[in-house]
Amino acid sequence: MKQILLFAGIIYSLSSPVRAQSPQFSQFYANPIYANPALAGDAGTPRLIANYRNQWATVGTAFQTAAFSFDTYAEDQQLGLGVQVIHDQRGNALKSDQLSAQFSKLVYLDGQKELRLIGGGQAAWALNRWNRADLTYVSDFLGSPDPLSGNAIQQNRFTLSVGGVLEYVPRHEDYASYWISGAWHNIGVNSPVSIDHQRINIQLGTKIPIGIPALFGNNLGSDLSRESALTLRMQVRNQGSSRQLDAGSNLIFSPLVVGVWYRGMIWGNTRRDALIGTAGWAYGNMLIQASYDLPVSSLGPDTGSFELSVWYGVDALFRFAGKRTTDRRARKCLRY
């Protein structure tokens, strides 16, 4: 069964290059600029992020994705800049690499600087490589020409992406913040990328400050200002004929982060996918978070996935001590 699942997944990814699905992350909120270039610089400080996903790990080297990004925020210009490298491996047959650069620009829509509009763009270069030695063509069995065997074993592509975020961030930290965002990815430039290859995702969510009994520290001094909040978030993603819903929440109580998420459609022809549990440690400059996808689809437990995210900020990423409310600090990890 394991070999059948692996073979079916790889054949699907190879059967039509322009329709191949982009990599996905269960912790999509922990890879912000992959989801939307307008989120470049949203931490308000120079930030490094590493993401790793191992899907169907029990069947060997099936689907593995690694992403590394750096983004920063120029406060005086309200400008975010970022760069990201992604390596995606689908078995031994297909490997893809992508290098991208992002920018974002923030505009305040009111005098209190609580209502904000952020626009962003991305330019990306991608390289797909097929291992011809591991491929078998129809012509090998029938002696007839196979169109796939004539395709290039290496494909280069340059694409553009655009995105936007509308957010409400009250200046008083004890009130909830809200946002909605959307992005349009893989707009072809130098290759015939069809509409089926383009990826569109819409996100909305809120971060609600809450009071939680002390689990760490002694509630004295800086412990009084530990960050405690509940984040609720939903993402709808569409690429070609594939539609996907991600929804869930993270409970933050510095330094602990725990969350529960669901992936799969809930209307129309129901396509259940997975329940996702997350746990992390967020303190000052560092975040480490792990998650596991527990399959709830008919494919069975062999299709589970493990994911790891690590953040590092030059300045503090998470509020632990002090409640200074500046324009810069108000943006820090808002959508986390």
Domain assignments of the chain as residue spans, ordered by start: 2-331
Amino acid 184: pLDDT: 95
Output phi, psi for 17, to 5 deg. -55, -35
Encode pLDDT of 132-171 as tens digits. 655 565 555 655 555 555 454 777 888 999 999 999 999 8
Which of 143, 24, 144 shows the shortest CA–CA distance to 88? 24
Amino acid 91: pLDDT: 72
Judged by DSSP in three states, 24 sits in coil
More confident residue, 167 or 283: 167
Encode pLDDT of 190-207 as tens digits. 555 555 578 899 999 999
Contacts for 310 with CB less than 8 Å, ≥ 6 apart: 49, 50, 286, 287, 288, 289
Encode pLDDT of 303-331 as tens digits. 688 999 999 988 777 654 334 444 444 55
Judged by DSSP in three states, 75 sits in coil
Amino acid 288: pLDDT: 95
Average pLDDT, the chain: 79
The answer to whether 317 touches 329, Cβ cutoff 8 Å, is no
Q: What share of the chain is helix, strand, coil (3-state, %, to 5)?
A: 15, 50, 35
Most confident stretch, 38-47, 264-273, 313-322: 38-47
Amino acid 67: pLDDT: 96
The residue-averaged pLDDT of 38-59 equals: 87
More confident residue, 222 or 183: 183
Amino acid 318: pLDDT: 66
| Whether pLDDT at 2 is above 70 | no
pLDDT band at 188 (very low <50, low <70, confident <90, very high): confident
More confident residue, 285 or 259: 259
| Whether pLDDT at 1 is above 80 | no
The helix (run of H) or strand (run of E) holding residue 3 is helix 2-15
Under CATH, which number does the domain 2-331 receive? Answer: 2.40.160.40
Amino acid 242: pLDDT: 80
Q: Which of 15-19, 152-156, 291-295 has the lowest mean pLDDT?
A: 15-19
Amino acid 39: pLDDT: 94
pLDDT band at 128 (very low <50, low <70, confident <90, very high): confident
Does residue 88 come out as left (phi exceeding 0), alpha (psi in the -120 to 50 range) or beta? Answer: beta
Contacts for 253 with CB less than 8 Å, ≥ 6 apart: 212, 215, 216, 226, 227, 228
Please tell me the distance from the alpha carbon of residue 136 to that of residue 125, in angstroms, as a whole number.
28
For residue 99, which amino acid is it? L
More confident residue, 35 or 22: 35
Looking only at the bridges linking them, the beta strands covering 242-253 and 256-264 are antiparallel
